[in-house]
Amino acid sequence: MTATEFWPLLAAPLLNGIALLLALGFRRNRAVIVLAILTFSSLALAGVVAPEHGERGTEAARMFAPWLLLAAAAMPERRLLARRNLVLMLLLAIAVWLTLAAPAHVWPGLRGALPFGVLPWSAGAVAATLTFLAAALCLLRWVLHGAPMEAGLSIVLALVGFALMPVLRLDAVRYAFALAGAGALTAILYASYRMAFVDALAGLPNRRALDEALARQSGDYALAMVDVDHFKQFNDTHGHDAGDRVLHSVAQQLRGTRGAGAFRYGGEEFCLLFTGPRMHGAKQACEDVRERIEQMRVRVRSAPSKPRRGQALKRNDPGEVKVTISIGLAERNADLRAAADVLKAADAALYRAKAKGRNRVVSR
């Protein structure tokens, strides 16, 4: 088989199969189900499934895949061998078996009933509509929860919906399935990168990303350690949900610091990294972000008050709280060359800022 023949025929099953293995490795279980469906559908479109039955593989992809994809998109993320996932994998196995083994006199009846024979539309139009609905469900989940994998799945399913439209020739359908596999690969790798290097609560790069950023620095830079003042007492008073909201709000303000990269260091601590010529304006930039956060008000709902005996649990009304931060700033120079030493100096400056009354910037 030449390269020209290979690409349109087997690229789709290969790309979707590789994405399936990656999804298994990274435990993206809904993606595993979706990609298993797409891999078998790609094999059917390539003629590997039921080649002796002519167009049956192409028909099967339009008959079975849309309903299975819609069910997978509607299900929440669960462990791979959860009951719902097992039911869906059983239905996929039944669809493969019917494609391979259904008698010739039975197949026309199945083809007339699926994907939704009561509608006066072609099978391709119904299949595309169901798949676009599955893409819309993933897109809605991304809008509500911000999970990158959901955005990736919505793009993948939209490409499959486009592929199933009745106006496309078979070669175009195969290309679209190959693009869907490539999109799935990209989505899984990107989501896994974010899981490793981005803090989910703050939406900022995490400490691992900071360590790698510092390891890449060759010239001088400035590093600021940032701590939310009295955060433990705040958590005790208002509850952890309110504390999470405060941390997220502080992170968004730090993200906008002029000339700096912001990182979540851990707990209520953050870092700001100023590199190149921008390090010379680090102290003023830190003062500016400290003032912005001091003026910021965060709307929170306090933790429920402890009820007296016989009283129902009562949650306090939402209100606005004031937040302040303390910042310790240090620069890499002839005396401080190692990143660990700069970090330690910034941490010492932070402790001095707290000792002086908090809500201030102290530089080494």
pLDDT of residue 2: 53
pLDDT of residue 309: 54
* CB-count burial class (<10 Å; 0-12, 13-18, 19+) for 330: buried
- pLDDT per residue as tens digits for the range 163-220: 999 888 888 888 999 999 999 999 999 998 988 899 988 999 999 999 999 999 888 8
- pLDDT per residue as tens digits for the range 258-310: 989 999 999 999 999 999 888 889 999 999 999 999 999 888 765 555 545 54
Can you tell me the distance from the alpha carbon of 362 to that of 177, in angstroms, rounded to the nearest whole number?
57
* Partners of 272 in beta bridges: 224, 262
Which residues contact residue 137 at a Cβ distance below 8 angstroms, ignoring those fewer than 6 apart?
A: 70, 73, 74
Residue 10 contacts residue 4 (beta carbons within 8 Å): no
pLDDT of residue 276: 86
Name the DSSP letter for residue 258.
Answer: T
- 25 phi and psi angles, rounded to 5 deg: -65, -35
Cis peptide bond N-terminal to 115, omega within 30:
yes
